[in-house]
Amino acid sequence: MLGVFLVWYSLSKVSIEELLVYAKNANYTWIVLGVFLGLLSHLSRAYRWRFQLEPMGYNIRLGNSIMAIFVTYLINYTVPRAGEVARASLLTNYESVPFEKGFGTIVSERIADTLVMFAIIAITLFIEFDFIYNFLMQTFDPLKITVALIAVVVFMLVFFRYITTSRSKLALKIKAFVNGLIEGALSIFKMKKKWAFIFHTLFIWGMYVLMFYVTSFSLEATSNLPLAPLLIGFIAASFSIAATNGGIGSYPLAIYAAFSIFGIAEEPSIAFGWIMWASQTLMIIVFGGLSLVFLPVYNTKKT
């Protein structure tokens, strides 16, 4: 429902007719290049997954890994995070990997991705600290920001003390969950091919950023954007994917919100967001649909 509302809201700001004009005048060479870079990131993710399974004695076929990745993204457009469950289930069905072990590797790789995302945010804050600081001071009351930061720190300290000292079932579950996340993150450095895993993780996110960057050249209004709005737009768009199924409706609005900070016009910002989202979504629909069809065929041939 939220995705439908956000689609309606974005179209209330820029009509379908106006979006079609932007789409008609777009340079599709850059859009196709962006799709290709996104495809490379997904292939790298499929190859990286095998590094996590090898230490447990499972040498899964690359074809199954690739198709499971695309099926994951496709299913996430219907039910949020259901794709990860389906991905582990596919591994169980076609590669005889126990569900809990397959799902554990998925959680582990999400932790690695989260760490890289935080690194991108930190780099953006470092590069554009003066601008972001001045924007926050001009937009929000400094006293309220200070009080909010103090409140967050106090809450984290109280929460940490609660889960470390309390013996309640809830506290023990939270503690076990946090310990599992930490163990999952540290397990990356214990695998035999940890440097290859780290390389592919950086490659995946490098392709994400580069995909966003090159697609900006597809519209004349966004072709000369400086680094700051592109990085902040990328971060906002990345978080928007978790807000709705596959970023439906939220993706273009997140980019518009980020670009508006830098005074970039509303229409090209939303149009760029829709072009980015639509091109990547089309790729997922095509390759995800083909994967659903060919997975049984591919594994029947094995049998």
Question: Which element (helix H / strand E) includes 246?
Answer: none
Q: Is 265 strand, coil or helix?
A: coil
Residues 161-210: tens digit of each pLDDT: 877 788 787 777 777 766 655 665 566 666 778 888 889 999 999 999 99
Residues 209-228: tens digit of each pLDDT: 999 999 999 999 898 888 88
Count other Cβ atoms within 10 Å, centred on residue 207.
Answer: 21
Distances in Å between the alpha carbon of 58 and those of 34, 94, 100, 102, 108? 33, 12, 14, 10, 16
Share of the chain above pLDDT 90, in %: 30
Per-residue confidence (pLDDT) for residue 177, from 0 to 100 = 64
C-alpha atoms less than 13 angstroms from C-alpha of 238 in its C-beta half-sphere = 18
Task: Judge contact between 23 and 275, C-beta under 8 A.
Answer: yes
Note every long-range contact of 95-103, with CB atoms under 8 Å and residues 24 or more positions apart, other chains counting: 95/58, 95/60, 95/61, 95/64, 96/58, 97/53, 97/56, 97/58, 97/60, 101/53, 101/56, 101/58, 102/53
Q: Region 243-263: what's the mean pLDDT?
A: 86
The more confident residue out of 116 and 107 is: 116
d(CA 1, CA 157): 36
Q: Region 144-151: what's the mean pLDDT?
A: 79
Residue 301 pLDDT class (50, 70, 90 cuts)? low
Angle at which helix 129-139 crosses helix 99-127, to 10 degrees, equals 90
Residue 17 pLDDT class (50, 70, 90 cuts)? confident
Query: Is residue 134 pLDDT above 80, yes or no?
Result: no
* Neighbouring residues of 4: CB distance < 8 A, sequence distance ≥ 6: 248, 249
Task: Judge contact between 14 and 258, C-beta under 8 A.
Answer: no
Per-residue confidence (pLDDT) for residue 213, from 0 to 100 = 94
Per-residue confidence (pLDDT) for residue 285, from 0 to 100 = 93
Tracing tokens 């209330």 back to the chain, one arrives at 12
For residue 272, the Cα-to-chain-centroid distance in whole angstroms is 18
**pTM for the complete prediction?**
0.82
Top mean pLDDT of 120-124, 142-146, 246-250 is at 120-124
Query: Residue 290 corresponds to which tokens in the numbers above?
Result: 């083909």
Query: Is residue 135 pLDDT above 70, yes or no?
Result: no
Whole-number average pLDDT of the chain: 84
Residues 61-85: tens digit of each pLDDT: 999 999 999 999 999 888 777 888 8
Q: Is 257 strand, coil or helix?
A: helix
The more confident residue out of 238 and 79 is: 238
Per-residue confidence (pLDDT) for residue 164, from 0 to 100 = 78
d(CA 43, CA 273): 24
Distances in Å between the alpha carbon of 255 and those of 29, 33, 72, 221? 21, 20, 24, 14
- Among the residue ranges 98-112, 170-184, 232-246, 263-277, the one predicted with the least confidence is 170-184
DSSP secondary structure code for residue 248 in this structure: T
Distances in Å between the alpha carbon of 213 and those of 49, 83, 118, 183, 249? 26, 27, 19, 34, 21
Residue 152 pLDDT class (50, 70, 90 cuts)? confident
